[in-house]
Chains A and B, each alone.
Chain A
Amino acid sequence: MLRILIKPELCAGCKNCQVACLAEHSPSGSVWLADLSGGHGRPRNSVELNSRDLPVPLTCRHCQEPECVTACITGALSKNPATGLVEHDQGRCAGCWMCVMSCPFGMISPEALEKKTAVKCDFCQGRETPRCVEACPTGAICLAEVSPETGNNTTPGEAPKEEGLH
């Protein structure tokens, strides 16, 4: 499975990943035309300063055992068994914010314009390389092939691949 790895030590804080994300999810798809002032919503990734004031790019992990999926009351969130991606069906989303409450990393948020549904990283659906990875000039955000067997093992006693209720 392809995953986005983050190397904060390479991050220059340029936020180009955010511009790229915004562009990808804007009507034109163009970095020239994406409304950076918020008219096209917010990027789904972020660059935040850590306690030492160093920039850290952050984006959804598509967890092995996604807490957002566990918390979803409508079935809008699901883990795709084929790709391992955590997908969000905006049409089913009720805007209950259980996912926002549950993601320990803060990677799913209310959509900034309508504020009716949640939005999260969709791995640039169908795109070979996610835009943020493509836009990162330093390699701080990069793609890596990750084996599904070496899961996200925060559970003592080991958990198998979790696909949510979908």
Chain B
Amino acid sequence: MKYLILGASAAGLSAVRAIRQLDAGGEITVLSRDRQIYSRCLLPEVLAGRKDPGATRFVPEDFLERHGARWFGGVEATRLLTGEKAVLADTGDKFTYHRLLIATGASSFLPPVENIRKGRQVYGLRNLEDVEAISAAAGKGRGAVIMGGGLVGVDAAAALNERGVSVTIIEAAGHILPLQLDRRAAERYQHIFRKRGMEIITGEMVTRILLDGDDNVTGVELKGGRTIPCALVVAAAGVTPNISLLKDTAVETGRGIRVDEYQETSVADIFAAGDVCESLEAFTKKITTTPIWPLAVQQGRVAGWNMAGARRKPLNNFAFRNSMEFYGLPAVSYGLTEAPGPGYETFTRESGESYKKFILKNGRLRGAILQGDITGAGVYGALIRENIPAGATGEKLFGLTYADFFNQLEDGSFIF
């Protein structure tokens, strides 16, 4: 069996491992645009100067060797030829397969803003190359504007702030991290950021990037008319799956590559996993992209198993969960951040560093935010994911632990 895997990040390498669990002899080939294996989630650490690029590898040095996989780094798949079961690469090489996994990830989404493609110092924060470029531009002073106050934007902002760069975040919503946190939790971060010298502008958006004669970024102009001088712009307005190689193929796509619960696409023997795909998400029960690391690993594993001939579904496909930490204040959130309408009960408690919020509907948790004290957060996540009655309301919600749901199998495993 010949396996071809496009992408050497969480999903791709997870698939390598899964295939090897079931198929000791198959030929595994990995192509990746990345020239080195690294964890994208650690890029803000590199940007902040806390980690060397070399320390971002998330698998042992000999991982591919140990799993008997060939890896071609710096090789981008450009076209998929489903008919002849082959992939063309930008090197001109052609790679054939019996089973293919597309785990090419996603790229920074560039919103329709004037000059965004023209400006020479407009970057995403997606690849190691981005970090290098941002670092170089940041060294020239005059500050940075972060377009988008989501997780990537705030990560980038905090990292640059830590390096002494003056940073402005522009967020269209009423507060930063609108998908991850409610207003209160976000405000607690905003307060910290502002104390650290960051500027945060909410309810605003960049309409134009100001350039000099050489297309160097000199500032941005906001919808409200205000201009903010800066030397670089980080576009952090979301990601878009890397599916251009699927042009002219029958592989069904929406925003990402549509896959079933076995991570298989509409075309036989072609699988997709990670940020590039879209699937039935467990919390929303909707088909959507699921761009979080744990699901990339899990989907890659499920894809790998199924490519190797097993029929296995994922444990769950729960994408509405986030963890973060800025300036020593950690937070974890799941599901809803605000009650979307009547029929929901909301419970909050704030003391000192700790802020907790739970959203309940019909006795079941639909959302949870834990900021400051995040110990034991996962139990709330499991209740939301598994749609288990919380068995508690009011004050008691704040003290839920697995003791309340204790159930142990004969082998010592816990289950809910």
- Spell out A's residues near B (CB within 8 Å): 3-6, 8, 46, 48-51, 55-56, 58, 61, 63-65, 67, 70-75, 94-98, 100-110, 115, 144, 146-147, 150-152, 154-163, 165-166
Contacts and interface: CB of A to CB of B under 8 A. Distances in A.
B131 to A, nearest CB: 15
A64 B379 CA distance: 18
Interface string B286-329: 00000001100110010001000001111100000111110010
B376 interface: yes
Contacts of B406: 6, 8, 50, 56, 58
- Top 8 nearest A-B pairs (CB, nearest first) are A104-B382, A106-B376, A152-B413, A56-B403, A48-B403, A73-B41, A97-B323, A71-B294
Contact of B332 (A55, A100, A160): A100
B402 interface: yes
B332 A151 contact: no
Contacts of A65: 315
Given A8-B406, A97-B330, A165 B58 contact: yes
Contacts of B375: 100, 106, 109-110
A50 B392 CA distance: 11
Nearest to B21: A160
17 contacts: A48-B403, A49-B403, A56-B402, A64-B413, A70-B294, A75-B60, A94-B41, A94-B42, A97-B324, A97-B325, A100-B374, A101-B323, A104-B416, A106-B379, A146-B411, A154-B415, A165-B13
B353 to A, nearest CB: 10
Interface string B75-112: 00000000000000000000000000000000000000
B412 A3 contact: yes
A94 B45 contact: yes
Nearest to B262: A157
Contacts of B41: 73, 94, 96, 98
B60 A4 contact: no
Contacts of B374: 97, 100-101, 109-110
A44 B325 CA distance: 21
A118 B385 CA distance: 23
A159 B312 contact: yes
A102 B408 contact: no
B322 A101 contact: yes
B294 A104 contact: no
B404 A101 contact: no
Contact of B402 (A48, A72, A75): A48
